[in-house]
Chain A
């Protein structure tokens, strides 16, 4: 049963085989070619930058939220900062 389904179901590799083999570097745009260069190091750079920018966004948000709480506290009461 399990084996049969795995045989009868067309896999992605079959459906897309011609598309994948057609994706040669000459046919792609400059950005993709750039990313393929230098042993794919730019892909690692991209991943790292995505992580960094998301974390940065988060840090900014938390900083702003703490700032808002401080403002709330300052306006509501008597205390030294």
Chain B
């Protein structure tokens, strides 16, 4: 066990406690759910980092066809999807009590986030279609590079051009001017904490898959 994992464990405990304990500004409709900012938004940040890691290892695989790069790309995409699902579920619950509905097709970011996840589900569907290890690794690496290019457009560019209930719509800043500055003392550590947590889980998953790969090929 590496030391940074203990640091993440302690830091995340403090971040969760801090998220509940700090004073949040009283805003009508939002009320105490403003605290969701500390938990809902970091899910997406963790997802982005995981997809980025997956993308990097897909490129590395195409550069050097080493099967362990493929294992890492797959593991990171898997953990990214898990965090993305957490983001969708928490967002849906939050939306019910502030926007008044579990799901609305009038909200672009919500729907495009779901679409982004489906693009990554397709990555795993594609992977399952091959029996040959090298063919699977190569084709899914190519697909993964396509998949990651959609993420900034689906979750940043397009939602900002449309009318949206999320902050950052209609060309507004997403965060800088409309969010109380004191929230950042928890939010930014929460970004780092949840990203580190996702990296920890990714670390376990790819090591497990590496061991599994050795056992199957020995």
Is B101 interfacial (CB 8 A cutoff)? no
Which residues of the partner chain A approach B13 to less than 8 Å between Cβ atoms?
Answer: 49, 52-53, 56
Chain A residues near B208 (CB, 8 Å)? Answer: 66, 69
The distance in angstroms between the C-alpha atoms of A41 and B20, with both chains bound, is 8
Contact B201 A59 (CB under 8 A): yes
* Minimum distance in angstroms from B103 CB to a CB of chain A: 25
Let me know if A77 and B204 touch, CB within 8 A: no
Contact between chains at A77 and B218 (CB < 8 Å): yes
Q: Is B104 an interface residue (CB 8 A)?
A: no
Q: Could you say which residues of chain B place their CB within 8 Å of the CB of A69?
A: 208, 211
- Residues on B with C-beta less than 8 A from A62 are 204
- The answer, among A45, A53, A67, A79, for a CB contact under 8 Å with B1, is A67
- What DSSP secondary structure best describes chain A's contact surface? helix
- Contacting pair B16 A52 (CB below 8 A): yes
In the assembled complex, which residues on chain B have CB atoms less than 8 Å from the CB atom of A16? none
Tell whether A73 is near chain B: CB-to-CB under 8 Å: yes
Q: A59-B200, A59-B201, A63-B1 are in contact. Are A44 and B20 (CB under 8 A)?
A: yes
Q: Whose C-beta in chain B lies nearest to the C-beta of A63?
A: B204
Given A41-B32, A52-B13, A56-B9, A66 contacting B21 (CB threshold 8 A): no
The reply to whether B16 and A70 contact each other, CB–CB distance below 8 Å, is no
List residues of chain A with CB within 8 A of the CB of B211.
66, 69-70, 73
Mark out the residues of chain B between 197 and 217 whose CB falls within 8 Å of any chain A CB in the assembled complex.
Answer: 200-201, 203-204, 207-208, 210-211, 214-215
- A–B Cβ pairs within 8 angstroms, 20 of them: A41-B20, A44-B20, A45-B17, A45-B20, A49-B13, A49-B16, A53-B13, A56-B12, A56-B13, A59-B200, A59-B204, A60-B5, A63-B200, A63-B204, A66-B207, A67-B1, A69-B208, A70-B207, A70-B211, A77-B214
Interface residues of B (CB under 8 A from A): 1, 5, 9, 12-13, 16-17, 20-21, 32, 200-201, 203-204, 207-208, 210-211, 214-215, 218
